[in-house]
Amino acid sequence: MLLKRIIPCLLIKDGGLVKTEKFENPKYVGDPINAVKIFNEKEADEIIIIDIKATIEKKINFDLLSKIFSECFVPICYGGGISTIEDAKKIIKLGAEKICIQSHGIKNKKFVVDLVNNFGSQSIVLSIDLKKNIFGKLKLWNYLENDFYNVDNIYDFIEEMISYGFGELLINDVDNDGLLKGSNKDLIKRISSKINIPTIFCGGINSIDDIKKSFESGAKSVAAGSFFVFYGKFKAVLITYPTEKIKSLLNE
């Protein structure tokens, strides 16, 4: 049986670890290298690292990634600013097990095919940001342009993207990002029933029970940032991660 995964999702900007709410107002919370060290010691199932500025500036901080990856012995997935095969090769060579693609892959399908041909589907993750519009309809969000993509049916779009060879899907629930109000179980149920590749759901996780209910709703993997980084109502920075005993109970 494939074990359900619990994945810390770390955002970096200008070399620092940051947290956002609804993808806005990045707040510095610490050193990403120290955070990765702690999650490594706690034997996280995997770590996702997203540089939220790399795509905007079209520049990947390879020096920082080298330092981060050297401190980690659990699988790492990196996303942010990857626009060439050379970028991907360098990131994989530094130690990432997977690379996460969003904007450049959405605009350039041939790039996705080239990535898959070079590294295999298992190493290429499609990141999708979903957000409700003013009418409450779930739409595909373009964070670079702070607007929605012109996509009528998000499920058909995701299926089309998957057909180019992506091996895994990361769903970011923008409306729940950083709010610690619980994951969107209806969204998890809908996506899980329609998509047949491994999918990670990220956004809103606020407790171990919430992780459990997300799994019960169909998630095979969940990712969280604030829940693993903040503690208490004043959001003091304290990195935590479920113990092996808790993870075993969640997999029952």
Q: How confident is the model at residue 252 (pLDDT cuts 50, 70, 90)?
A: confident
- Span 194-208, average pLDDT: 95
* Strands 147-148 vs 138-142: parallel, antiparallel or unpaired: antiparallel
Q: How far apart are CA 35 and CA 68, in angstroms?
A: 9
Confidence of residue 2 (pLDDT cuts 50, 70, 90): low
- For the chain, the first-to-last Cα distance in angstroms comes to 11
Q: Mind listing the pLDDT tens digit for each residue in 71-98? A: 999 999 999 999 999 999 999 999 999 9
d(CA 64, CA 78) in angstroms, rounded, equals 12
Mean local confidence (pLDDT), 196-202: 95
Q: If you write DSSP's letter for every residue of 129-187 in order, what string do you get?
A: EEEE-TTS-EEEEETTTTEE-S-S-HHHHHHHHHTTT--EEEEEEGGGTTT-S---HHH
What average pLDDT is seen over the chain?
95
pTM of the model as a whole? 0.96
Active site residues: 129
Q: How many CB atoms lie within 10 A of CB 117?
A: 11
Q: Encoding tokens for residue 72?
A: 């980690």
Structure tokens of 21? 């709410």
Give the chain's domains with CATH numbers.
5-250 (3.20.20.70)
Separation of alpha carbons 167 and 105, rounded Å = 13
Cross-strand partners of 148 = 141
Tell me the pLDDT tens digit for each residue of 202-221. Answer: 999 999 999 999 999 999 99
What are the start-end ranges of the H helices in the chain? 32-41, 54-57, 62-70, 85-94, 103-107, 109-119, 154-162, 185-194, 208-216, 226-229, 244-250
Which residues lie closer than 8 Å to 247 by C-beta, 6 or more apart? 6, 45
Q: What percent of the chain has pLDDT over 90?
A: 91
Is residue 1 pLDDT above 50, yes or no? no
Nearest Cα to 95, choosing from 119, 66, 53, 54?
A: 66
